[in-house]
Amino acid sequence: MAIATRPPSRGLLPRAPARGRVAQREDRHMRGGRVLLAAARAPSPLERLLAATRAAIGLLADALRPSADPQDTPVITLGAHYISVREVAEGARMRLQEFVTFDPKEGPKRYTVPEREEAPPAGVLHWQVVPVARAKAKRLGRELSVKIELGGSCSIVLSPFAAGGGAGGGAAAEAGGGGGGDGASAAGAADDETYSVQLPALLLLDPLSPECPLAYKGDLIVSCAQTGLTAALRVSKDHTIAGTLEQQPAAPGGGGGGGGGGGGAAAQLGVFRGSWRGQVFVACPEMAMHGIVFDCDEGVPPAAAVILRTIDLRRLGPMANPRLWTALHDAVLYSDPRAASGGRAAARLANALASHLSGLALGGADTRDTQPAGGAGAAGAGAAAAPAAAAAAGGFDPDIDAFDRAVDALGPGGADGGAAADRRAVAPCYKEQRAAGRRLRYTLYCSLTVGAP
């Protein structure tokens, strides 16, 4: 029996891949890793505090940057976990984890690191956000907005001696992250410096508009208990930043390092001014020091240098931080009318948002599940905005008593009677999570090692 043989197909892949130049992707993780590396390598506590402040402002700016990648579009999800490794500089490797989840106990996963790469981290950034949105109304309902509190925690742990002395530094933290929950913290070594970060709130100044203005407002505070240094900044709605650089008094009987807690008045070392959309400056006259703390365009490719001034909550496009916006969208979608500030107009806005935000899930006129919990059956963006528009025009609900009863009957998270009565445009399993009282939370965990091969 003869067997026919054929020549190999020309469509097969070549034996050796074509050689070409490797393009390094510059994104927010690379920029954040370089800032973390600069903070760990800074020779003085003051420079490390300023670098930690730069990292905190960078988190705010990167949250409002768009993306050119369609895969970066926020989506409705029960959870997502992104893991990556970045070579931020020669001999400096950053392992990062970024995820959103309903599980409050879920934390960064532990890496399995080869023995030759084992090294204590020179810096760790751990940012957990549990956003809470509240509808607000002012001027008799003519000015509607949503305030998103970036609740949770944010900390930066630096081991400057580990960065300066390579892998033989004095930090005793675990390499590559923790095993979940609070065990992921890298604090604990005697020479570590922990910088606690408090972030301002995000304002949606016209949430039902397709061009909703964005702004931050509140306090941005970066403090280190080990050195006693604090950067207290005030972020205004016009995007400006002003604040002071302070040295807290040393604790009685405390050792070196200048730690705070002495109970006396803080000494002002300098002042901050500028805008987080441009540049933030620091000036310390007594030390003859001044310079730029943050530049929003530094290290950013021209295509990613844009920071959004407006956004369409109903049709969110690709964002540089899509997982954070997934959590923010969840907070706005389930804003509680009972927690609204500003009377009936604010409660109407919270109910209108529940039906207005349908673009990330089933999104469109073909879905029947677009009514807010306890709503009046509005469908579509125009009908969803009608209650808020009536409030903005100074009108009144034709049946105020019925409206008040509907608002009072709403349970936690805006679900009346649990998942069965939740009419938002999300999947039933998603509604069950909200009916159980859970909130979608966002976590970013970055661990930087220096001296790894």
Summarised one tens digit per residue, pLDDT across range 32-43 is 999 999 999 999
pLDDT band per the 50, 70, 90 thresholds, residue 239: very high
Locate 375 and state its tokens: 């709503």
Distance CA 381, CA 256 (A): 61
What's the pTM?
0.78
Helix boundaries (H) for 8-166: 28-41, 45-63, 160-164
pLDDT band per the 50, 70, 90 thresholds, residue 18: low
For 397-408, how does the pLDDT look when each residue is reduced to its tens digit (9 = 90+)? Answer: 444 444 444 444
Q: Length of the chain in residues, anyone? A: 453
Distance CA 440, CA 424 (A): 16
Helix, coil or strand: residue 113: coil
Helix pair angle (400-408, 344-356), 10° resolution: 70
8 A C-beta contact, residue 259 and residue 226: yes
Distance CA 254, CA 30 (A): 38
Region 165-172 average pLDDT: 39
Identify which has the larger pLDDT, 240 or 116: 240
Of the chain, the percentage scoring pLDDT greater than 90 comes to 43
**Residue 338 predicted with pLDDT over 50:** yes
Residue 142 corresponds to which amino acid?
Answer: R
Helix pair angle (344-356, 322-333), 10° resolution: 130
User: What does the domain layout of the chain look like in residue ranges?
Assistant: 28-110+122-310+442-450, 346-438
Identify which has the larger pLDDT, 68 or 6: 68
